[in-house]
């Protein structure tokens, strides 16, 4: 079973700063990774698909990168509205969808 | 515009059953990968059932044999039948559509429905 480990668990930064969130897979299954943003009281929203592609309507300050087992979500200049928990996700053989445990972003 | 609307959540006793519904508009549930993802209070996300466009379904060990995902083309609705419910099944249950750009991502989510298993 694949495990996605996100770090840090909590990230506290100031508006305008750069945020770097990490997601590491326990083994290589897929070249691709997705990232989701979940604001308090809301459903998750797709941010990044296939490692580096922004979903529809996602601002350019969000970017994704990585390969193999190490992936990164970068928010170039934080805004107060970016307060959320961020999850990574891969399609895996079993179960078919695996999520990381999340990184809480505080601003 | 794609919309997914879940319903059917509520309070149920341990050992009981519940059926959740996910009514879709803007997409055909039989032509898409559909999933149910749950989230216990203060916890992360767990996919508990998926159904591929071809009709095959998959479940994690935590719910296999107890949960069944199905779909109704005429109502454009996906269901999650949950039997033998346990306290640790308490969570918000989201319906989500999966797309394979290069790989699987969940691009549309419903607002969720709360299931509470308690005596």
More confident residue, A33 or A31: A33
Residues of B with CB below 8 A from A34's CB? 103-106
Q: Residue A95's pLDDT is what?
A: 73
Q: Residue A39's pLDDT is what?
A: 97
Tokens of A17: 């700063």
CA distance B35 to chain A (A): 9
Mean pLDDT of A45-70: 95
Percent of chain B with pLDDT over 90: 96
Residues of A with CB below 8 A from B109's CB? 43-45
Residue A60 main-chain phi, psi, to 5 deg: -70, -15
Chains A, B: CB contacts within 8 A come to 72
- Using pLDDT thresholds of 50, 70 and 90, give the confidence band for residue A29: confident
- Contacts of residue A23, defined as CB under 8 A and 6 or more positions apart, other chains included, come to A4, A5, A6, A33, A35, A66, A70, A71, A72, A73, A88, A100
- In the block, tokens 């590491």 appear at A24
- Asked if pLDDT for residue B101 goes beyond 90, the answer is no
Q: Poorest-confidence range of A22-31, A82-91, B6-15, B25-34?
A: A22-31
Mean pLDDT of B41-56: 95
B101/A102 touch (CB, cutoff 8 Å), yes or no: no
Q: Residue A1's pLDDT is what?
A: 81
B58 to chain A, any CB pair closer than 8 A? The answer is yes
Mean pLDDT of B100-119: 94
B63 to chain A, any CB pair closer than 8 A? The answer is no
- Determine if the peptide bond prior to B43 is cis (ω within 30°): no
- Contacts of residue A103, defined as CB under 8 A and 6 or more positions apart, other chains included, come to A6, A7, A8, A9, A10, A11, A21, A85, A86
Residue A80 main-chain phi, psi, to 5 deg: -55, -30
Residues of A with CB below 8 A from B46's CB? 99
Residues of B with CB below 8 A from A36's CB? 45, 106
- Using pLDDT thresholds of 50, 70 and 90, give the confidence band for residue A64: very high
Q: Residue A52's pLDDT is what?
A: 95
Q: From the list A32, A98, A99, which residue is nearest B103 (CB)?
A: A32
Name the average pLDDT for chain B. Answer: 96
CA distance B94 to chain A (A): 8
B9 to chain A, any CB pair closer than 8 A? The answer is no
B44 to chain A, any CB pair closer than 8 A? The answer is yes
CA distance B16 to chain A (A): 25
- Using pLDDT thresholds of 50, 70 and 90, give the confidence band for residue B97: very high
- Asked if pLDDT for residue A47 goes beyond 80, the answer is yes
B103 to chain A, any CB pair closer than 8 A? The answer is yes
Mean pLDDT of A16-44: 93
- Using pLDDT thresholds of 50, 70 and 90, give the confidence band for residue A96: confident
Query: Which stretches does DSSP call E strand in B15-102?
Result: 18-25, 33-39, 46-51, 57-58, 67-72, 77-82, 91-100
CA distance B14 to chain A (A): 25
């Amino acid at each position: 079973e694949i495990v996605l480990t996100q770090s840090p668990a909590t990230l506290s930064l100031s508006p305008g700063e750069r945020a770097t969130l990490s997601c590491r897979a326990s083994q290589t299954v897929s070249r691709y990774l997705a990232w989701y943003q979940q604001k308090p009281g809301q459903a998750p929203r797709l941010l990044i698909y296939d490692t580096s592609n922004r979903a529809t309507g996602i601002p350019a300050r969000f970017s994704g990168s990585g390969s193999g087992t190490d992936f990164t979500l970068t928010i170039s200049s934080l805004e107060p509205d970016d307060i959320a928990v961020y999850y990574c996700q891969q399609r895996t053989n079993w179960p078919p969808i695996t999520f990381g445990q999340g990184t809480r972003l505080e601003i | 515009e794609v919309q997914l609307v879940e319903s059917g959540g509520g309070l149920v006793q341990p050992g009981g059953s519940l059926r959740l519904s996910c009514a879709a508009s803007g997409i055909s549930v039989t032509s898409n990968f559909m999933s149910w993802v749950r989230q216990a209070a203060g916890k992360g996300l767990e996919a508990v059932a998926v159904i591929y466009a071809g009709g095959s379904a998959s479940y994690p060990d935590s719910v296999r044999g107890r949960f069944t995902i199905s779909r109704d083309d005429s109502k454009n609705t996906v269901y999650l039948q949950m039997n033998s419910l346990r306290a640790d099944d308490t969570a918000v249950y989201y319906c989500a559509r999966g797309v394979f750009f290069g790989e699987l991502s969940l691009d549309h989510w419903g607002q969720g429905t709360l299931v509470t298993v308690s005596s």
